[in-house]
A = this chain, B = another copy of it.
Amino acid sequence: MSNSAFKPVTVVLDWGTTGFRAFLVRSDGSLVDQKEGERGIQSIAKGEHGRVVSEALASWRAEYGPLDIVAAGMIGSRNGWIEMPYVPTPASAADVAAAARTEGLPEGDRITFLPGLTDPTGFPFPDVMRGEEAQLVGFGLDRNIIVVLPGTHAKWAEIRGGHIERFRTFVTGEIYATLADHSFLSKVATAERDHAADAFAEGVALAQEESTRAGGLLTRLFAVRTGWLAGAIAPDEMKSRLSGLIIGWEFVEARTGGWFKEGDTIAVVGDDDLVEVYGRVAENFGVKLAPAPADAAIRGALTIWRRHRLAAK
C-alpha cells in the first residue's frame, strides 16, 4: 500500500443499478465538483467497469493527477464490479474500514471498495445493506439512537456504543414503485406522487387507523382503488395516497417491531426529499427528530476510507 500523504481531493463514487454520481471532495468533505451518468452497474459487462470509471473521471484526473476513489453500495455487490463481503453487526467504523479493499486502476487511480453490512440476527435469514453503512458512519456512531434510511429497501438501524448494533429492511420504496407502475393504479393514476398533498397525509392517516375494520396492508392498499371508484380520490391523487399509506405502514410495522415508541427521538438520514417526508410521518407518530447532515454518505465514505488507508500504512 502507498505511504504517500493524503491528496487534497478524493472521489466518492455512488454507482448503483440505474446510474452513477461521483463527488470530488476536499478532506473536510466539502464539495469541489460532481458528475452524473446514466450507465447503471448492470448495463456494463464484467471487466469493463474500470475503463468506464477511468473515462468518466478523466477531466478530474487531468486537473488533480491520479485519483483516490471510494466506492460504496451496489457497485460492490454480486451484480456489480467485484463482490465485497458483508461485515457482521455489531460493527464499528473500524470494522467496516478493515474489510475495505483497494485496487489499482490502469490510469494510475486507486479505488477502494467498501464492504456491506449483514445483521446475523435477521429472521429467517441475515439482513443486508450496501451503502447505508457509509451513511450511518457519516451520521456518527457516538450517540445511542435509531436511524431510519428511506429508500427502495428502507433500513431502520440501531446505533449503540459506537457500533451499528442491528438493522432491519422494509421494502417500502419497492412496493410503492411496483404498484404505482404495474398494478390497478397504473392505468388510472395520472400524476407523480406529491408528498405535500392532502392525499399523502390521508394515506398516512389510513395507515394509522387502528380499528379492526380497516384490515391489514393487503386490504388497505385496495382503498386506493375503492376511493377512486367512490369518487373520493382523483386520478392525480392516487399515487400520493399510495405513498402515504405505504410509508405510514412502514412506521406501523417498525413500531410493532419495537424500533420506536411515541415520544422517542430518532434520526432520518438520506440525501433526497424523502428525508423531510419521513420526518413529517415520524411526527405523525409522535416521534421527535435529531438533526442529521444531508451529506452523511460522503462524510461516512471519507471517514471509512481514511481509517482504511491509515490502518494499511
Contacts and interface: CB of A to CB of B under 8 A. Distances in A.
Say how many copies of this protein the assembly contains. 2
Given A172-B218, A213-B121, A126 B257 contact: no
A250 B218 CA distance: 7
Contacts of A172: 218
Q: Considering residues A126, A170, A219, A226, which has the most beta carbons from chain B within 10 angstroms of its beta carbon?
A: A219
A246 B221 CA distance: 14
Contact of A128 (B175, B209, B229): B229
Nearest to A231: B125
A2 interface: no
Nearest to A253: B216
A174 B168 contact: no
B123 A209 contact: yes
Interface residues of A, number: 54
Contacts of A122: 223, 226
B124 A206 contact: yes
Nearest to A226: B125
B181 A182 contact: yes
A218 B168 CA distance: 10
Nearest to A42: B187
A190 to B, nearest CB: 15
Given A42-B187, A175-B179, 5 more contacts: A78-B229, A171-B219, A177-B182, A212-B257, A216-B217
